[in-house]
Amino acid sequence: MPATFSRPRRLVVLISGRGSNMQTIVNTVREQDLPAEICAVIANKASTLGLDWARAQGIEAKLVAHRDYASRSEFDQALAQVIDTYQPDYVLLAGFMRVLTPEFVERFNGRLLNIHPSLLPAFPGMHTHQQALATGVQWHGCTVHFVTPVLDHGPIVAQGAVQVLAGDTPESLAERVLGMEHLVYARVVRWLAEGRVTLDTMQRVHVHGVGSRSFVMMPDNGQSE
């Protein structure tokens, strides 16, 4: 059974750019009236358009600029201290383009989630759409997963797949995958808010009351589970 909570789930969202997935998360919480609160949006770049969007929505928006710190460890420590002030139940990476230190990941163990633009474990790291086209896979997509110290690795919460079409470019494929990212992250946020997501002792994800955690987008842009 889903867990019951005495208060809404507190969410902090980390971004590095325009934050389209962050916008999806915010809109999902508000439009579906979920038992969750977006406590803050935090970016590591001063020019991040997503911070402006968050402020316009009345959400606290913070900058922790990685260039202000001499090392990755110092930046992660400063970022963690800011996050801790909000006492989040979950920290959601939404296009946050920084590799996090093992110490940071351990600090938020079981509360830190990421969305990656591939069907993990395929194509970790950067340039996933180019990798997909270069290897000739016929399905590509995205994965929402709990973060571990290993890059783009961790217990999978949900995945969404799109077909690779003849004539696809990295840009056209990225556009379809991004649409799937919005769908999948919105659904995962709902599960988190409703207390459906748990990790067992073997670090396997269970989503209570949900039969399928996979999503498919067909070429006509229809979606199915």
Could you say which of 116, 140, 145, 182 is catalytic? Answer: 116
Q: CA 18, 24, 26, 28: dihedral to nearest 10 degrees?
A: 180
Gap between the Cα atoms of 225 and 207, Å rounded:
15
Q: What residues contact residue 208 under an 8 Å CB cut-off, 6+ apart?
A: 1, 2, 196, 198
Active site includes 206? no
Extract the tokens encoding 76: 């992660």
Gap between the Cα atoms of 225 and 211, Å rounded:
10
DSSP 150-193: STT-S-EEEEEEEEPPTT--HHHHHHHHHHHHHHHHHHHHHHHH
Do β-strands 139-146 and 156-163 pair in parallel, antiparallel, or remain unpaired?
Answer: antiparallel
Please tell me the number of Cα atoms within 13 Å of 85 on its side-chain side: 10
Q: What residues contact residue 57 under an 8 Å CB cut-off, 6+ apart?
A: 26
User: Looking at 35-183, which runs of residues are DSSP E strands?
Assistant: 36-43, 61-63, 90-93, 112-116, 139-146, 156-163
Active-site residue set: 116
